[in-house]
Amino acid sequence: MKRLFLVISLIFIGLSVKAQDGEYHVRIHGQENKGVVLDAPATSVDSMYVNSNNKLKVRTTNNLYSFSFDEIDSLTFPWVPTSTGDIVYINYNGTSVEIDNPYSSSGVNITASEAKVTINSTSSANITYCLSGTANPGRFEIESVTTPTIKLNGVNLTNPTGKAMDLTCEAGIIMQLANGTQNSLADGTTSDKKAALMSNNDLLVQGEGTLTVTGLVQHAMKVKGQFNMNSGNLIIASSVADGIHTEGLLVQGGSITVESCGDDGITSELDGYINGGNITITSGSTDINAISADSTLVINGGNINITVTGVDSKCIKADKELTINGGTFVLNHSGNTSKGIKSDADITITDGDITITSSGATVIANNDPSYCTAIKGETNIYISGGTFNINLPSSNNGGKGITCNGDMIISGNNTINIETHGDGSTYTATSGTDTYSSSCLRAEGNMQILSGDITLTSTGKAGKGIKVGSKNGNTYTGTYTQGNTDGTGPTLTITTSGAQVGSSGGWPGPGGGSSSSRASAKAIKSGGVATVYGGTTDVHTSTSGAEGLESKTQINIEGGQHYFKCYDDCINSSGKIFFNGGVTVCFSNGNDAVDSNAGQAGAITIGNGVAFAYTTKGSPEEGFDCDNNNYIRITGTGIGLSAGGSQGGGGWPGGGGGSGGTITDPAQGYKFYTSSYTFQAGKYYTLSNASGTGGTNMVTFSFEANCTSNLALITATGMVSGQTYYVKYGNDAPTNPTTAFHGLYLGGTSSASTQAFSFQAQ
């Protein structure tokens, strides 16, 4: 690695001298004929190095670029001449033109018909052509075997019957915008050509001037090669078709503004790379892409500001992989079913500051809803960094924040804030009445949230914080994984407050099977197994049916700290629920705190985890509800505390289990406490092996609201069957606890001394 740094340093020492008629450049060439992905003057490159993630970093005067080695084919250092002799001057004057050609006898043939100039150059020199003046009708056309520099020095050309500028050069063209100048090119409505400015090979735009291009027939600019923007100010005033249509795209600096386009703003037929610069695009046209690539699109930096208002329009679109490694994005799209960022393949985001407002509505077509979405991936989405601020206002009914048809993996150092405010609704599907609703994060496949600071808020009817998987017949797919096996994980905050939609239960959304005409707000909803390894979870719901964590298959809590304050069930599963690690606190004020409908042994299992679950609703809602207390299992040395009403007779799927019960082969002592007792908010209750002020503080717990309990399960580390234990209370929390989390205290010294009740462990 040190040798690589030394070699690069020696190269830059040799390249640092800028020649009078040219300078050396640093060029990075992409794999698989992707062309040049970075072209910068050597004098502007501060350093090149490989970081700990095996990324090649290139730091220039204004930007920091990042490349994976599997993206790079080669690194070259070409010498780029600016000129090798005198300048050809062309000055337009109304309907005529003045020409000063020092190369007339050296292979540069220039003809002019009124103000229409045609150049044919066979000279081996890289000649600069300096254009100035105004002409209407006017035109500039050139064919050259070398790379000319077209210097726009205050030139304004309008050609009503064709292209204003036509560049055919075998080795590409350099367009130099003279410092401080205003330049313009425009075609006319009677033109039969495809652009106002046409380049038949690579086009490099640089300088410190301004060029305004107007396309009144089709494109404003068309480049049959790679369009490279290094510096300068390029304005597309209007275009009937695309603003800039190119075979390849490389934006490294300067400013591009597209003010009005009938089709795409900037579109590349092949790959596109945006490494820097400022891009601003505004469009009201239907079904357009502000920035698009028919192949892959990689954005490493720059400032991108886009507003699109047309139906089914996209701010940024790639037909293949879309990668964002940096940059600042402000995207606003308000058309129905429109998208902020969309890829027909994978989306990978490693860094960047992304702000998206998605205010378009959902449209039902052919019995199928189509949504307005901030970030949409047709396959997978990988997020390992960046800052996201996504807002879906109330006009976006049913829209999605970040969604994909495949898997979603969120890792690394990221900050994600998503708000959805639009209502869900019922609609007529092929199989009957169904529902749709908004989701902050949505994956049809699996979802992993491994790290990050994530805040999700949904206020619309039936809105979801996280939704994973789908239903096909009676089969649910899509697993949810949170955190890592070492207990680390995201800081996840989810709030939902929307009411129910429809009138009957079920699983809404695509995937076949029976229809559903009711949907409820959910914080986290998973079709497949939900496994929580770590991190910190803070969930709040406030409406009927609004559950905290729901899985149609199974829930495993393996680590981390998790708090659920819900109107409906805090944790609900059609299958089993395991507390194998971590600390979980569940407070429901309208239903069960923890509810398993597995209907078999082990429906709720206390392993080595800590679970404190209570409901203030009263009978028949419970702290732990599995339809039969005999289904509960204690397999480890964890802590399980529940409080709530006694079980009602019956329950799903079979007969009720009464108010008590016996747990088979428990790993430690436990008690079903069936006497009525009201736990008071503001008091601190300690489980101890002695009355009064003595004994061991096995666990202390407090309640956010008064909780009248007719059925409590108590089990704690060290409890032994047959021994007597005491629940005492006081006014103070324990001092120096090892864990203090939403009313649950582990360790420390408790001052509780007033006895609430005692019991003999089962």
Q: How far is CA 630 from the centre of its chain?
A: 45
With 0-12 / 13-18 / 19 or more C-beta atoms within 10 angstroms meaning exposed / middle / buried, residue 760 is exposed
> At residue 241, does pLDDT exceed 70?
yes
Q: How confident is the model at residue 459 (pLDDT cuts 50, 70, 90)?
A: very high
Q: Length of the chain, please? A: 762
pLDDT tens sequence across 409-453: 999 999 999 999 999 998 887 878 888 899 999 999 999 999 999
Using alpha carbons, select from 570, 600, 567 the residue that is nearest to residue 584. 570
Alpha-carbon gap, residue 678 to 393, rounded angstroms: 43
Give residue 373's pLDDT.
97
pLDDT at 506: 45
Q: SS3 of 583, please? A: strand
Q: How far apart are CA 671 and CA 676, in angstroms?
A: 14
**How high is the mean pLDDT of the chain?**
90
Question: What pLDDT, on the 0 to 100 scale, is given for residue 371?
Answer: 93
In terms of Cβ atoms closer than 10 Å to its own Cβ (0-12, 13-18, 19+), residue 741 is middle
Higher-pLDDT residue of 310, 502: 310
Contact 257, 283 (CB under 8 A): no
Structure confidence at residue 385 (pLDDT): 97
Overall average pLDDT of the 580-585 stretch: 98
- Nearest-angstrom CA–CA distance, 310 and 139: 34
Name the residue among 542, 553, 439, 443 with its Cα closest to residue 500: 542
111 burial type by CB count under 10 A (0-12 exposed, 13-18 middle, 19+ buried): exposed
> Average of pLDDT values for 119-144?
95
Residue 41: what pLDDT? Answer: 82
In the 8-state DSSP scheme, what is residue 656?
-
Per the listing, tokens 């299958």 go with: 575
**Burial of residue 733 (number of CB atoms within 10 Å: 0-12, 13-18, 19+):** middle
Hey, what are 9's tokens?
A: 């340093």
> Position 5: which residue type?
F
Q: Greater confidence, 42 or 223?
A: 223
CB 62 within 8 A of CB 46: no
| pLDDT given for residue 64 in this prediction | 75
SS3 649: coil
**pLDDT of amino acid 514:** 35
- Per-residue pLDDT tens digits for 85-121: 579 999 999 999 999 999 999 999 999 999 999 999 9
- Element at 54 (helix H, strand E): none
| DSSP string computed for 259-304 | --BSS-SEEESS-EEE-SSEEEEEE--SS-EEEEESS-EEE-S-EE
Per-residue pLDDT reduced to its tens digit, 584-616: 999 999 999 999 999 999 999 999 999 999 999
Report the distance separating Cα 625 and Cα 603, nearest Å: 9
Q: How confident is the model at residue 507 (pLDDT cuts 50, 70, 90)?
A: very low
Q: Which residues contact 370 (CB under 8 A, 6 or more apart)?
A: 312, 337, 362, 363, 364
CB burial of residue 492 (10 Å; 0-12, 13-18, 19+): buried
Q: Tell me the mean pLDDT in the region 16-43.
A: 71
| C-alpha distances in Å from residue 112, one per residue of 109, 120, 441 | 10, 12, 62
CA distances from 280 to 260, 291, 391 (A): 11, 10, 20
Taking Cα atoms as reference points, which of 208, 338, 352, 332 lies closest to residue 274? 352
Please tell me the least confidently modeled range out of 75-79, 189-193, 470-474.
Answer: 75-79
Residues 145, 154 contacting (CB under 8 angstroms): no
At 17, the pLDDT band (50, 70, 90 cuts) reads: very low
Predicted confidence (pLDDT) at residue 330 exceeds the cutoff of 80:
yes
> Do 304 and 251 touch, CB atoms closer than 8 A?
no
For residue 232, count CB atoms less than 10 angstroms from its CB and return exposed for 0-12, middle for 13-18, buried for 19 or more. buried
**441 DSSP β-pair partners:** 402, 466
Q: Do the Cβ atoms of 156 and 137 come closer than 8 Å?
A: no
Quick count: other Cβ atoms within 10 Å of Cβ 557? 26
Mean pLDDT calculated for residue range 245-273: 96
Cα pseudo-dihedral 305, 493, 535, 485, rounded to 10: -80
Please state the rounded mean pLDDT for residues 573-589: 97
* Cβ neighbours of 453 (radius 10 Å): 15
pLDDT number for residue 34? 66
Range scoring the smallest mean pLDDT among 61-75, 175-189, 509-523: 509-523
- 337/339 Cα distance (integer angstroms): 7
Query: For residues 334, 338, 341 and 342, what is the CA-based torsion angle, rounded to 10 degrees?
Result: 180
pLDDT of residue 81: 57
Instruction: Mention every residue, 6+ apart, whose C-beta is less than 8 A from residue 75.
Output: 26, 27, 28, 29
Task: Please say if the pLDDT value at position 285 is more than 60.
Answer: yes
Is residue 408 within 8 Å of 448, Cβ to Cβ?
Answer: yes
Amino acid of residue 318: A
Give pTM, 2 decimals: 0.90
Count H helices and E strands in the chain, helices first: 1, 79
Average pLDDT (72-87) is 70
What's the confidence (pLDDT) of residue 21?
56
Predicted pLDDT of residue 510: 34
**633 near 664, Cβ under 8 Å?**
yes
Here the tokens at position 301 are 């930096």
The neighbouring-strand residues paired with 353 are 328, 387
Task: Name which of 722, 740, 724 is nearest 732 in CA terms.
Answer: 740
User: Would you say 154 and 207 are in contact if contact means Cβ atoms under 8 Å apart?
Assistant: no
Per-residue pLDDT of 630-673, as tens digits, reads 999 999 999 999 999 876 433 333 333 346 789 999 999 999 99
Q: Give whole-number Cα distances, 645 to 592, 677, 678, 686, 710, in Å.
A: 9, 10, 11, 21, 5
The one-letter amino acid at 393: P
CA atoms within 13 A on the CB side of 289: 18
User: What span, in angstroms and rounded, lies between the C-alpha atoms of 694 and 19?
Assistant: 88
**Bridge partner residues of 594 (DSSP):** 571, 624
Q: What is the structure's pLDDT at 399?
A: 95
In this predicted structure, the answer to whether residue 79 has a pLDDT above a threshold of 80 is no
385 neighbors 410 (Cβ within 8 angstroms): no
Q: Mean per-residue pLDDT for 390-394?
A: 98
pLDDT in tens, 479-489: 999 999 999 99
Residue 329 · residue 353 · CB < 8 Å = yes
- How far apart CA 40 and CA 28 sit, in angstroms, is 9
Rounded Cα gap, residues 194 and 180, in angstroms: 29
The single residue listed with the structure tokens 């428990």 is: 666
pLDDT at position 13, please?
A: 45
